[in-house]
Structures are given as structure tokens and as C-alpha cells.
Amino acid sequence: MKPFDNNRLSALSRRRLLGLAGTAGAAALLGRFTLADEHVHEHSPASATAPERSFVLPERRKLKLAINLNAVCLAPVAVAESQGFFSKHNLDVEFVNFGNSTEVLLEAIATGKADAGVGMALRWLKALEQGFDVKLTAGTHGGCLRLLTAANGGASNLEALKGKTIGVTDMASPDKNFFSIMLKRHGVDPVRDVEWRQYPADLLGTALDKGEVQAVSGSDPFMYRLLKGGDFVELSTNLAEEYGQLSCCVVGVTGTLARQDKAAAAALTQAILEAHSWAAAHPDVVAQDFLKYAVNTSPEEVSAILKDHTHAHHASGPAFVKEIAYYARDLKDVDVLRPSTDPQKFAESIYVDVFS
């Protein structure tokens, strides 16, 4: 049986509608709905706590979960126990906070210092291609990444960034990877036609103001704050075009847990997905609870960001494999993954179906 019911939300988020504007976007959406078969779910509030099948463990199981507790998009996971989702599945989850160090987080999972982790697919896939013993179990939500330009005199579209400079916080960041994909799709070579320049996150806006760069990319909450300041506008997001139907963040478990205790991996994955669904229906409650982990923010800001993401979208099973293969294909196109990597085989090799 499927891990969730198939009640679906009828409304797309504002960012999805912006990304799908125009005939090409609408056609892309229709094309992507061919992936929305088995194990792709857009939950209504009623389904957030009503799975079709129980994944409750018969005995209490302690697990360590690697996470960046400062990431707003992971707020639903950070406060999952407050809402009883881990306890509901007989899990005792200890957070191992690795901040923004994805490489250390993945190494911790691969070496057994943590049993599982949550993070961004576009940051994990290169490491998984290199052989980390981590298996993906599901996609948790979409959103998080934005590409901004100046409101006055900035680039009018992605094509206008040819020959320009883009500010980023990390040369291997998921936003650099994603917007490289978007530039390539719009006829701009992300390697030869643009220059990428690295800045601390809190200096991206200053660099754009000074004209040192013509666009900046990054994740929320930094990008959200720049956008709401009024001096910058969105050129693109990772909910644009067909990517509005893909997961950006994923759940990964150790290869050992996947092979030896699939029931625990299923219970943890289910609890995390239910927490995201609950957050989609109750963003204000999650935002208030998240303040015990967050710094320099407010419940209003966290709630607004959560509403801007797609926390009701989850993928597992064959549909999730297709999502990962789709990303892998695009990452090959921008020289992130090896030319010899077969996207479909790669996706199949790093996924484990814990719900079957």
C-alpha cells in the first residue's frame, strides 16, 4: 500500500504560478504530471495525519538524524517531535546539527555517526555519485532557492545574464547548480557565458547594490529577506517551470540502515513526510515552535517562507526515482556529474524503497 493517501491540493503556490506563466510553462507542467503517478502526493490538511498504512515500529527505536537546524525549509523536521510525529512511530530521534556543512553531514551518515539526514538533492547528488554509502528514501518538499536582480536596471530575464556576473555563497552550492541548469535551458552557458563570484551571504545584497554582480543566488531566509527589502526582484526560483513539480530536499539513510532495518527507515521517512504535510496546513504553529532553533528571525518571517515553499509535495517510489534521474540528467548537462553517469541507473542505485 502507499504511504500516504491521494487527496490533492487544487491550488498551486504563487511562485509556481509565476514559474509556469506562459504556454511553455503550462506545457511543461502538463508534461511533468506524467510523473505524478505512484507515490507523488500533494496533501490536503485532512491527509497530513492520515496515512493509509501504519509504519509504527513494534518497539522504541533510537535514531540519530543529521540536520541543519538553522534551515527554515527544515523547520517541519526540527519541530516534528513537538507535534508528536516521531513518537507516533515509536521513534526516539536525536538531532545531530551540522549547520551548513553538507559534506560533513553526508560523511556522518555514510560512516554511521548519524543514521539518517535531510538536505538538498542538488547538493547531495555529486557526493553520492562519488560513492557515499547513503540511500535516498523520499523527497520532502520543493522551494528554497531564489535568483535575484536589481529592481531598477537589473536583468530582465535569464537570457540577459549572458556576459554578466552572478554572486553566490559557495561554488558547489545547490543554488549555483540549479541556476546553472536554468541558464543552460535558456541558452546561456553557465561555464563560459557567465562569471560566478563568491561572497558571504550577508554581503550578496551589497555586491548587487554596488554593481559588482548583476544577480545573486542563494537560499532562504537570506534571499527572502533581500526580496522583501524592495530593492531586488526575482528572476527565477527552483519552483520555476517543471521544477515546481519536483522535490528539492530529500531524506537519506545509511546504507546499513537501509539493508538491515528497513522498517526503521520507513518509520523515520514517514514521520518526516507527515511533519512536512502538517507544516503545510499549520505554518504559523511550526514557525512559532521553530524559534527555539532559529536565530535572527521571527515567527512571521518563518511562516511566510514556509507558505512560499511546497511542503505538501512529497515523492517516493518510482516517481521519486524519476525526479532524481531528472536532476541527474540536468546536472550532467552543466558538468556537475560525470559524462559517463547514466541518470536513470544512478537514480536507481542511490534509492531504496522503504515503503514496499
> Nearest to residue 333, comparing CAs of 198, 183, 219, 217?
183
Read off the C-alpha cell for 88. Answer: 507516533
What's the alpha-carbon Rg for the chain, to the nearest Å?
Answer: 19
pLDDT of 109: 85
CATH hierarchy code of domain 31-142+244-349: 3.40.190.10
CB-count burial class (<10 Å; 0-12, 13-18, 19+) for 166: buried
Q: Residue 110: name the closest of 136, 92, 86, 78 by CA.
A: 136
Q: What is the pLDDT of residue 100?
A: 62
Element containing residue 141 per DSSP (H, E):
strand 134-141
CATH architecture of residue range(s) 145-237: 3-Layer(aba) Sandwich (3.40)
Domain boundaries, the chain: 31-142+244-349, 145-237
Q: What does the DSSP 8-state code read for residue 219?
A: E
Would you state the pLDDT for residue 269?
Answer: 97
| Per-residue model confidence (pLDDT) at position 32 | 34
> Same fold for the domain at 31-142+244-349 and the one at 145-237?
yes
Say what the pLDDT of residue 35 is.
Answer: 39
pLDDT one digit per residue (tens) for the chain, 356 residues: 345 333 333 333 434 333 433 333 333 333 333 333 455 555 433 333 334 567 999 999 999 999 988 899 999 999 999 999 999 999 999 999 886 677 778 788 878 889 999 999 999 999 999 988 899 999 999 998 999 999 998 899 999 999 999 999 999 999 999 999 999 999 999 999 999 999 999 999 999 999 999 999 999 999 999 999 999 999 999 999 999 999 999 999 999 999 999 999 999 999 999 999 999 999 999 999 999 998 889 999 999 999 999 999 999 999 999 999 999 999 999 999 999 999 999 999 999 999 98
Per-residue HEC secondary structure of 273-288 comes to HHHHHHHHHCHHHHHH
Length of the chain: 356
pTM to 2 decimals? 0.85
For 192, phi then psi, to 5°, come to -100, -30
Burial of 65 (0-12, 13-18, 19+ CB in 10 A): buried
CA torsion sign for 241, 246, 247, 252 is negative
Greatest distance between any 2 Cα atoms in the chain: 61
Q: Which of 349, 271, 282 lies closest to 3, judged by CA?
A: 271
152 phi/psi in degrees, rounded to 5: -115, 115
What is the model's pLDDT at position 40? 55
What's the pLDDT score for residue 86?
97
pLDDT at 99: 66
- Supply angle C-alpha 62, 65, 68, rounded to 5: 155
